[in-house]
A = this chain, B = another copy of it.
């Protein structure tokens, strides 16, 4: 059950982008499981990918094609991750691109493949090849909902976000969809995220904006600490807004775009957490007063990964000693526990190495009750801070992951 996740928005066209969806039959019957995006010629395309050494075959092919050619199509299947599949997995990823290449008449290198689903099983490439014509036949400009549904695996809801902004009389759109609910601890990108804009922008600048926004969004969420083999996030800028190509990141238009882009990325990242497997809470973990940003990031992730903290959150139990225990083992050099302060949803819980003098059990209970929890740990060591978003941990998480696949 997703936590405070809004309905899929009514997303307008992004000029230069079309999408087509089909049923390849990889997932159960009557499920969309193949999505194709068509990008207009001359689009700038940037990508960030999983750092998992066991990265999936499509991730390798995608990186290769992105480096060598101008991307014109994205093709995404769900139900099978084509990861841990060795050489035949690579062959199948190439075959997928080749098949689409023959249908649309553009070089295979201009196609970026993506897969998500079960790891270690052979990709049913014939099913994908057979469904490609149907996906191309129904290409449309506004069927974002079908695309959002078509990339889901254990997600309970499709995830989309868009912003429009005006600059010197022109209107620009930034639109994204994402998927993911488990195996979520992105390292460079989420399971799958796609963000599209009609702005004209230089490709290397788009790449740098994407990398930076990733570190404020997908790289700061975690459901279960498991980094996927297939994480990929792609940004596309078609240039159809008609502006002169943005090359300077400090220009006012670049700044307006960065703001909209980062907001869309954060909304998509938060949507993944809100739909986290078995989630009943949306939890913001903020670590402040750190001597370095890396200390803040590390401590925030350790709290967000702790099964004991997550089960206490699930129970709405102010068992905040578990949070201090994690801070103590997070490996912060020179930590003095007597300077640590803990607030939850605005209530002061702990200071000076122990419970706050004014703490009452009922404060703790009030603090832990809501669906939205904001934990603030102040290490009292410096000025650096970072924020991570996560879920609680319920029996439902175990049930989902004990039953997925079997």
Contacts and interface: CB of A to CB of B under 8 A. Distances in A.
Interface of A: 51-55, 81, 83-89, 118-122, 182-183, 187, 224-229, 305-308, 311-312, 314-315, 317, 319-322, 324-329, 332, 335, 337-338, 350, 352-355, 393-395, 397-399, 401-406
A315 B187 CA distance: 27
Those 6 A-B pairs whose CB atoms lie nearest each other, nearest first:
A119-B321, A86-B354, A54-B328, A120-B321, A315-B402, A311-B401
A259 to B, nearest CB: 32
Given A120-B321, A226-B308, A315-B406, 8 more contacts: A51-B329, A53-B332, A54-B324, A54-B328, A84-B321, A118-B321, A227-B329, A394-B398
Contact of A325 (B54, B353, B355): B54
Contact of A229 (B305, B311, B325, B394): B325
A352 B87 CA distance: 9
A398 B322 CA distance: 15
Contact of A226 (B87, B326, B353): B326
B53 A328 contact: yes
Nearest to A229: B325
Nearest to A314: B402
A157 to B, nearest CB: 21
Nearest to A333: B53
A88 B52 contact: no
Nearest to A51: B329
Contact of A328 (B55, B315, B401): B55
Copies assembled: 2
Contacts of A53: 327-329, 332, 335, 337
Contacts of A312: 401-402, 405
Contacts of A350: 84, 120
B226 A314 contact: no
Contact of A52 (B83, B328, B397, B398): B328
A396 to B, nearest CB: 8
Nearest to A325: B229
A25 to B, nearest CB: 20
A54 B85 contact: no
Contacts of A329: 51-54, 187, 226-227
Contact of A322 (B88, B119, B121, B187): B119
A119 B328 CA distance: 13
A257 to B, nearest CB: 32
A306 B225 contact: yes
A287 to B, nearest CB: 14
Interface centre among A305, A335, A354, A404 (most CB of B within 10 A): A354
A395 B401 contact: no
A286 to B, nearest CB: 19
Nearest to A307: B224
Given A306-B225, A311-B401, A88 B325 contact: no
A46 to B, nearest CB: 23
Contacts of A314: 398, 402
